[in-house]
Chains A and B, each alone.
Chain A
Amino acid sequence: MTSRLVVVGHGPAAHRLVEALRERDSAGRWRITVVGEEPRTAYDRVALTSYLTDGADLGYPPHDESVTVRTGERVTAIDRAAGVVRTDAGATLPYDALVLATGSVPFVPPVPGAENAFVYRTIDDLDALRAAVATSGDLTMSRRAAGVVVGGGLLGLEAARALQGLGLDTHVVEVAPWLMPRQLDEGGGAMLRRHIEALGMTVHTGVGLDRVEPGAVRLAGDVVIDAGVVVFSAGIRPRDDLARAAGLPVGERGGVVVDDACRTEDPRVFAIGECALVGGMVYGLVGPCFTMAEVVADRLLGGEARFTGADLSTQLKLMGVDVASFGDPSADALDVIYTDPVAGIYKRLVVSDDAQTLLGGVLVGDASSYPTLRAYVGAKLPGTPEQALFGGTEAAGGALPGATVICSCNNVTAGTIRAAIAEDGLTDVPAVKACTRAGTGCGSCVPLVKKILDAELTAAGVEVSKALCEHFDHSRAELFDIVRVRGITTFSQLIAEHGHGRGCDICKPVVASILASLGNGHILDGEQAGLQDTNDRFLANMQKNGTYSVVPRIPGGEITPEKLIVIGEVAREFGLYTKITGGQRIDLFGARVEQLPEIWKRLIDAGFESGHAYGKALRTVKSCVGSTWCRYGVQDSVALAIRLELRYRGLRAPHKIKSAVSGCARECAEAQSKDFGVIATERGWNLYVAGNGGMRPRHADLFAQDLDEDTLVRYIDRFLMFYIRTADRLQRTASWLENLEGGLDYLREVIVEDRLGICAELDAAMERHVAGYSDEWRAILEDPEKLRRFVSFVNAPGMPDPSIVFEPERDQIKPAMVEVTR
């Protein structure tokens, strides 16, 4: 016999309920009808902002055909006596069980003009907001339009950042004395404010809203913000009106009262999600909403599941601002607090009086340890609280107790994940996600899921392979240590003693680079020549038609007219295509192998040297013109850039290294997008590390501030050498740092505090590099044996490759299209 289930609302909670029920109700006991007021089926509200910023499609997968979903229709009344609900489309739907999943609405403060403000809850809300922003821009052509978000909590800040993304000057108004008052204490709130302000937003705290006027917002105390767009994000109110009208108990501050089975006083009526008041609480996070949905699915099938409270840990989803709170940060127990005002970091752990059990905490500025710490809430810490604060992510996933909740969005424990890995033989993260749902909500636990997976696989004897290729079972970092410690100087020795076969295009360039980093003479000496990758082989950059390009070094981008003229003359004489590069130098294209030495002879005679554009090595240190000429410059950025470029030139690394120096905070040299970047301050230099342009851009992290030049250089020396020793193959500094256990803090400890006791060694290695530098191209010209290799044909040395043809374009050459036949 089938019974009729009616679900009111089609948000995340309703969707999960239906999915869970369909999955388990194999006997088909329930026929399900869902009524949802929004014009579309359920979608991922947690990711709402990405609809605005990336136009993401948030829709959840549709239910199977047996489920009736009525969208764009609102339930207007419940008639419990008759066992029916009525809708605004005039329908009367009978039920045997009714589930209210009506969620909540944003709270709109009762101030004059509130009807002209926007809210941030549904896709329709965002469409309306976007349209309003578009017109507000038209009205205020002379200056940037402004927007105000009322409410400085998690959602308010997320909305504020989105407004900024729409091009508005954005203000955040919070009535409490600091931001995110529900999660943060005063110190954390103050640190967060600095981060928010650094993003270019204006923050008003401790001030209430007076009224919304056309084109302006008036705050208490007569502060007026000219703003065309106002968004309210000042808390939510559960939608309990249906239940209230049907005579069901609701909480004093809203919420449909339910027991731990999520059942109301009426045994046929349930409430789940944000509209429910369970155990005296309304939960505003999707994780508990999902748990309630699972409980009711179980109950409808005769189960005994209970809702016993939920983890309230959350993370702010704001690009570039790390904020996380976990457990109960307001618990009355021992506090361990760490602040680093320079880096903008604030961390607080709350532990039990014996300092053994983690109760909660707050992280601002660096939340990298959030997934691990969250998982430890309520459990014994593996070390001291200090260790947890700093090495939070070092605590191995394998040691976590089985009952610890790893994914709080979907309530998945470490034990469940381990069991799935073992029983279903899972070997990668996507499989674990598919199988357990862990990591499919907000995604913050994915690093931890990966750790557990790796630990399980290792324990099961499944090799988590870090092998470079079929010839070496080692990672690049391990090979580096082998070569360094054993003093190995040739590939043949290394592969004979530590590898198999004769290598390939993966391991040979890696070993070539390691040998070069450790200073083993010229890269084309003896056997090393055969290890070099495409460009290193002829010390030039191979282009698509088999010709090469040539880039002489122009340190810091500074060049005399005489040298500029020489470059022009060489290009004209050899018929080369010229182009200014992104690194402030000049690239000469279209050279044939046998022309390279002649070209370089001319360049070297004029005082140029190799620019290593072909190598995984330091490329350039860009600079702005600096204080010598610039009205705003505060330091001589050109001189420093030249010093740095000459110091690190020729330094071979796992990948290319780019750098820049800016002479003031205007940052014209774009130093924050470089592997290491330096920005002048009134008092010295700020050092940024691990930035990246390219496919996956990453802003560099501020490593240290106001350094004098010698300290700056020492830190960069160590940073580079540590990177060269420990990075993976082709890993830029950005991903290296992201994968470094302990992250930036750890890096500082290694470089500044010498935590590993290797600084002297790193310093000495860099000194050897600097002292041992010589121009690679000059060495070629001086060595007839090497020079002999720069020919297209071994049996016709002067002869050019006849298949290379050019055609004209914009007064220069370009490769003629070759037909690819295969």
Chain B
Amino acid sequence: MTETLASAPAGTGTLAAPRWTAVCDYDDLQPERGVCALVGDRQVAIFRTYEGALYALSGHDPFSGANVLAWGIVGTRAGLPTVASPMYKQVFDLTTGRCLDDPAVSVPTFRVRRAGGRVEVAES
């Protein structure tokens, strides 16, 4: 697997080719322990699951306004990969950015892929 689409199913890609930014080595990512990367002026939380899949969400926690989502506990809910905000513990679906505790809320997702030994992120 070289690319994991964070959200968009195949076919909804934009015309312009995504601009990928390399942020770190794949080995810098410990399973189930997020990191935060600065991409332009966006803060992006990047997660590697236990199975090795990559996901990227905005690092901004919409409930507290702090950039802390990367520090949340990674796990699963009903089979979906999730992260829980470390601030007030709302749980977000890593695949869609949707808040599972408050469906009216979601956070932006990013595309993330493994390119060689590096991890790259692009706006989706």
Residues of A within 8 A of B (CB): 470-471, 492, 501-505, 507-509, 527, 529-531, 533-534, 537-538, 542, 544-546, 792-796, 799, 801-803, 818-822
Contact = CB atoms under 8 A, between A and B. Distances in A.
B36 A794 contact: yes
Given A529-B33, A803-B67, A504 B23 contact: no
A802 B38 CA distance: 10
B76 A504 contact: yes
A793 B38 contact: yes
Contact of A546 (B38, B63, B67, B79): B67
B43 interface: yes
Contacts of B37: 793-795
B63 A820 contact: yes
A821 B91 contact: no
Given A530-B30, A533-B73, A534-B87, 16 more contacts: A470-B78, A471-B75, A502-B50, A502-B81, A503-B75, A505-B75, A530-B33, A533-B86, A542-B87, A544-B64, A793-B37, A794-B35, A799-B38, A803-B43, A820-B62, A820-B64
Contacts of B84: 504-505
Which of B49, B66, B81, B105 is packed against the most chain A CB atoms within 10 Å? Answer: B66
Contacts, number: 106
A305 to B, nearest CB: 53
Given A534-B71, A794-B37, A529 B78 contact: no
B43 A505 contact: no
A545 B76 contact: no
Interface in B53-96: 62-68, 71-79, 81-82, 84, 86-87, 89, 91
B96 to A, nearest CB: 16
Given A542-B87, A544-B87, A502 B32 contact: yes
B30 A546 contact: no
Contacts of A794: 23-24, 28, 35-37, 46
B74 A530 contact: yes
Contacts of A538: 71
A505 B31 contact: no
21 contacts: A471-B75, A501-B79, A502-B32, A502-B74, A503-B76, A504-B77, A505-B75, A508-B75, A527-B32, A529-B33, A530-B31, A530-B73, A537-B86, A542-B71, A542-B87, A546-B68, A795-B24, A801-B67, A803-B43, A819-B65, A822-B63
A218 B86 CA distance: 66
A545 B36 contact: no
B62 A821 contact: yes
A542 B78 CA distance: 28
Given A793-B37, A820-B62, A502 B68 contact: no
A822 B62 contact: yes
A470 B65 contact: no
Contact of B30 (A471, A509, A529): A529
Interface string B17-49: 000000110001011110111100101001001
A106 B71 CA distance: 66
A501 to B, nearest CB: 4
Contacts of A803: 43, 66-67
Query: 5 nearest interchain CB pairs?
Result: A546-B66, A822-B62, A505-B84, A818-B65, A534-B86
User: Quick one: which of B65, B77, B105 has the most chain A CB within 10 A?
Assistant: B65
Contacts of A545: 65-66
A549 B76 CA distance: 30
A538 to B, nearest CB: 7
Nearest to B86: A534
A792 B50 contact: no
A558 B73 CA distance: 37
Which of A492, A509, A793 has the most B CB atoms < 10 Å from its CB? A793
Given A803-B67, A821-B65, A505 B73 contact: yes
B77 A820 contact: no
Contacts of A802: 41
Contacts of B41: 802
A611 B58 CA distance: 33
